[in-house]
């Protein structure tokens, strides 16, 4: 079945891979928008983690690495970022042209604006405030390849356009899916992880990070059509997040060794190792 999809913004084509990206058929990265940096992913016991800064705005950047279109059904804290539903594979998402990238910056409120993603305390997260705190602290991207009509093989490739958001399918059989086009994405990292068996951090809920419902900002999309190649994702990317302090406490990030303050020598009787000195003058 076919459905109109909204296209958002202008397409961004990435020409190089980011070493901090996770994923196979697409790259996913998490960007701290306030500092303008890509957050470093840490691999720990089969999962990817990033350290967020409380209060900072962030974006989930996705780049299609294939030669065909991809649908990215994206969730934050177990909530679909387009529809606000408890996330499932057969829901709406963003459609990316071949090589296209786009930064998803917030919860979609309409075809023209989003509410910023912000790192906040878990109880203040959008998921917790809407009665769904169980999956706070995880970013998910389910990727679907497109079922291409035979005619498409003899036709010239379509011009690159913004990504798409997909519409929910009540009975998603193989190849049957409706999507809506949304903004194009920026380069990101993605890893194929099973979405089952996630274990929550040992830190109490109140001290963990979640994603808040921030200020509104302009983000335009249009609609398009997309038929999935299969009912299950071709790849699932999962990235968990928490504060830097919690990642250190959980052993995911090593705490840097403290540097002794200047002017104090704990071994004054030991001779420092000598190297070749500079010439006089």
Measured between alpha carbons, how far is 35 from 32 in angstroms, rounded to an integer? 6
Report whether 212 contacts 119 (CB < 8 A).
Answer: yes
Domain ranges of the chain: 12-249
Identify the sign of the CA torsion 218, 223, 227, 231: positive
Measured between alpha carbons, how far is 114 from 243 in angstroms, rounded to an integer? 24
- Helical (H) or strand (E) element with 106: strand 106-108
Measured between alpha carbons, how far is 69 from 184 in angstroms, rounded to an integer? 12
Q: Which of 230, 238, 198, 224 is nearest to 93 (CA)?
A: 224
Report whether 133 contacts 125 (CB < 8 A).
Answer: yes
Burial tier of 141 (Cβ tally within 10 Å: 0-12, 13-18, 19+):
buried
Cα atoms in the 13 Å half-sphere on the side-chain side of 274: 4
Residue 79 is given by DSSP the state E
| The predicted structure's pLDDT at residue 265 | 73
Report whether 96 contacts 184 (CB < 8 A).
Answer: yes
In a structure prediction context, what are the per-residue pLDDT tens digits for the chain, which is 281 residues long? Answer: 333 344 444 344 444 466 788 989 999 999 999 999 999 999 999 999 999 999 999 999 999 999 999 999 999 999 999 999 999 999 999 999 999 999 999 999 999 999 999 999 999 999 999 999 999 999 999 999 999 875 444 444 444 445 555 544 433 443 333 334 333 333 333 333 333 334 444 444 448 999 999 999 999 988 899 999 999 999 999 999 999 999 999 999 987 766 666 667 777 777 666 777 777 86
């Amino acid at each position: 079945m076919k459905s109109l999809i909204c296209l958002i913004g202008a397409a961004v084509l990435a020409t190089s891979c980011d070493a901090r990206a996770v994923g196979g058929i697409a790259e996913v990265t998490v960007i701290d928008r306030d500092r303008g940096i890509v957050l470093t992913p840490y691999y720990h016991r089969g999962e990817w983690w990033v350290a967020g800064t409380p209060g900072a705005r962030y974006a989930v950047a996705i780049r299609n690495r294939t030669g065909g279109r991809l649908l990215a059904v994206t969730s934050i804290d177990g909530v679909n970022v387009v529809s606000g539903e408890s996330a499932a594979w057969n829901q709406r998402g963003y459609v990316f042209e071949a090589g296209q990238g786009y930064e998803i910056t917030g919860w979609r409120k309409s075809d023209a604006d989003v509410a910023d993603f912000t790192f906040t305390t878990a109880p203040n997260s959008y998921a917790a405030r809407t009665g769904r705190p169980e999956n706070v602290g995880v970013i998910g991207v389910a990727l679907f390849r497109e079922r291409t009509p035979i005619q498409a093989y003899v036709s010239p490739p379509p011009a690159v356009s913004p990504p798409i958001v997909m519409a929910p399918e009540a009975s998603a059989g193989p190849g049957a899916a409706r999507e809506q086009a949304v903004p194009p994405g920026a380069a990101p990292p993605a890893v194929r992880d099973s979405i089952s068996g996630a274990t929550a951090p040992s830190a109490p809920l109140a001290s963990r990070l979640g994603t808040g419902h921030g200020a509104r900002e302009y983000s335009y999309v249009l609609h398009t059509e997309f038929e999935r190649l299969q009912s299950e994702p071709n790849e699932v990317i999962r990235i968990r997040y928490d504060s830097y302090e919690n990642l250190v406490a959980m052993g995911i990030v090593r705490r840097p060794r403290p540097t002794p303050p200047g002017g104090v020598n704990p071994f004054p009787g030991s001779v420092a190792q000598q190297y070749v000195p500079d010439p006089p003058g």
